[in-house]
Structure 1
Amino acid sequence: MTKTMTVASLKKMTADGEKFTMLTAYDATFAQLLSSAGVETLLIGDSLGMVIQGQHSTLPVSVDEMVYHTQAVARGNQGALLVADMPFNSYGTTEQCLATAGKLMQAGAHMVKLEGGDWLCESITAMSRMGIPSCVHMGLTPQSVNKFGGYKVQGRDNDAAQSMIDQALAVANAGADFILLECVPASLAKAITEAVPVPVIGIGAGKDTDAQVLVCYDMLGLTQHRMPKFVKNYMLEHHNYQSAVKAYIDEVKAQTFPAAEHEFD
């Protein structure tokens, strides 16, 4: 990557109508591969619990483990904005949230991501005041899988959709810098993207969001589980990791990924 990505530069890309890309990274090797290929944002996701540790969910991942992987990704990064997940049960109060976010930022993150809605507003504002950028993850939030009763599309009925729009506006107004939408109908993701004043990243949320994210292990065909509907395995058409990552970047920017078959109604 020829330049260092910042929150401000990514917001300018969005304002200029250019899509940006995000992929997960958990170590220095993948961080170097993905960022040098031009991926603008790397997510040190608590998905590492499943793809690295072999857990059945993200819930067992600890703050110390997130710090360790954030440090590793920071060492290999070549200019991407680094977003680190706040793990399960690490941001229940504003004080706890600030403590966890501080550890991740000191480990090398440029932004933290946390799952929830308008109940996070006080913590979001407090982080913003302390100079900690935040991304709020809405829709299917994997840390709430036991509450949801499984990995299910969210926001399909009118009341749930309107609630998600209202909560997205609330967190943006509280100071959130990005919003991430997972597994929501494409029409709802489009409505939220048009409604909020901050960039929206989608995964299983259609092509109208400002950016796209995938788990790197999924888009490179490295996982053994059944691929979710919203994933495209780029290694099926490309001979090496570098060309697969470049194809992902190109397709997101050309708005050919995600295609209709990757969306939810």
Structure 2
Amino acid sequence: MYACRVHEFASSLIDRKARGEKLAMLTAYDYPMARWLDEAGVDLILVGDSLGMVVLGMQDTTGVTMSMMLHHAAAVRRGVEKASVVVDLPAGSYLTPDMAVHNARRLVAAGADAVKLEGGMKVIGQVRAIVEAGIAYVGHIGMLPQSVLHEGAYKKKGKTDEDAERLMEDALVLQEAGAACIVLESMVPEVAERISKALKIPTIGIGAGPDCDGQVLVTPDLVGGFPWFKPPFAESRANVAMEVTRAVREYVRKAKG
């Protein structure tokens, strides 16, 4: 079953890139949002470990656990009929190839069509093990949120020739290992464009310029649902927070009447 699923997922994305079809990806963490996104025509829904920040109020994603991801993945799966569901392996859940496969299988059982983990060459053993187990895999290179404590800050990647070359090498080795697509996060746009042109598999950018094969955003950033922080690359197309505040204040006034 897994082998058939990984082949269908990967081949579909490669075919769409070959046709020049751009991909739209957004995050969801619960049933209602997953259903809204699915019915609106999103191609890929990411149950991201960003839930630690925008749902659970953590300072970063490093404290997100497997139990959290399983809980939210199952909720999202219940709301999706058409889109593919990608679920993050959280920090510390793929330290070895065996651990990576074990936890990837748990996410698939919860409803993931594919799993995503951060890194390139440093995690290639884990990536190969996941793909060899017949589980669809999505790569993630560039700025790696799970490494923020090690790096000390969120930093734009690809600013030097050496860094750009390393990113290209990571992308190529992930493709060779069987990645279905790769997220390029917070990367110099010219570098992201070169990587996108060099790969047969799609790239999905976030803060990486317009020339990737698709785009992903954290949905609360898109709809104005997390007003306390807004990434510089995220353009809000709604103001959910303002509407909720307005409705609640109206309710409070009436209730206290």
- TM-score bracket, normalised by the shorter chain, equals 0.7 to 0.9
Deviation at residue 78 of structure 1 after TM alignment: 2.4
* Residue of structure 2 in register with 1:80 after alignment: 83
Which structure has the bigger radius of gyration?
2
**Which of 75, 97, 101 in structure 1 is aligned with 2:100?**
97
**Which of 13, 17, 21 in structure 2 is aligned with 1:18?**
21
Alignment of 1:1-265 (within 5 A): 6-235=9-238
In 1, the alpha carbon distance for the partners of 2:155 and 2:127 equals 26
Residue type at the aligned position of 1:102: R
CA shift digits 1:160-187 (9 cap, x unpaired)? 1111101110111111111111000000
Gaps of at least 5 residues in structure 1 are: 241-265
In 2, the alpha carbon distance for the partners of 1:40 and 1:206 equals 19
Asked if the contact 2:206/2:217 (under 8 Å) is kept, the reply is yes
In 2, the alpha carbon distance for the partners of 1:120 and 1:149 equals 21
Q: Percent identity?
A: 40
Asked if the contact 2:14/2:200 (under 8 Å) is kept, the reply is no
In 2, the alpha carbon distance for the partners of 1:151 and 1:124 equals 24
CA shift digits 1:195-252 (9 cap, x unpaired)? 122111000001110110000001001112231111010116xxx9xxxxxxxxxxxx
In 1, the alpha carbon distance for the partners of 2:210 and 2:81 equals 27
* Residue of structure 2 in register with 1:250 after alignment: none
Asked if the contact 1:82/1:110 (under 8 Å) is kept, the reply is yes
Instruction: Give the aligned CA root-mean-square deviation in angstroms.
Output: 1.4
In 2, the alpha carbon distance for the partners of 1:37 and 1:51 equals 22
Asked if the contact 2:25/2:43 (under 8 Å) is kept, the reply is yes
| Number of equivalent positions | 233
Runs of 4+ residues over 2 Å off in structure 1:
5-11
Deviation at residue 9 of structure 1 after TM alignment: 2.4
Residue type at the aligned position of 1:115: E
Q: TM-score, normalised by structure 2?
A: 0.88
Asked if the contact 2:97/2:126 (under 8 Å) is kept, the reply is yes
In structure 2, the CA distance between the partners of 1:7 and 1:32, relative to structure 1 (3 Å rule), is: farther
Deviation at residue 127 of structure 1 after TM alignment: 1.4
Q: TM-score, normalised by structure 1?
A: 0.85
Residue type at the aligned position of 2:131: S
The 3-state SS of whatever aligns with 2:117 is strand
Greater per-residue helix proportion: 2
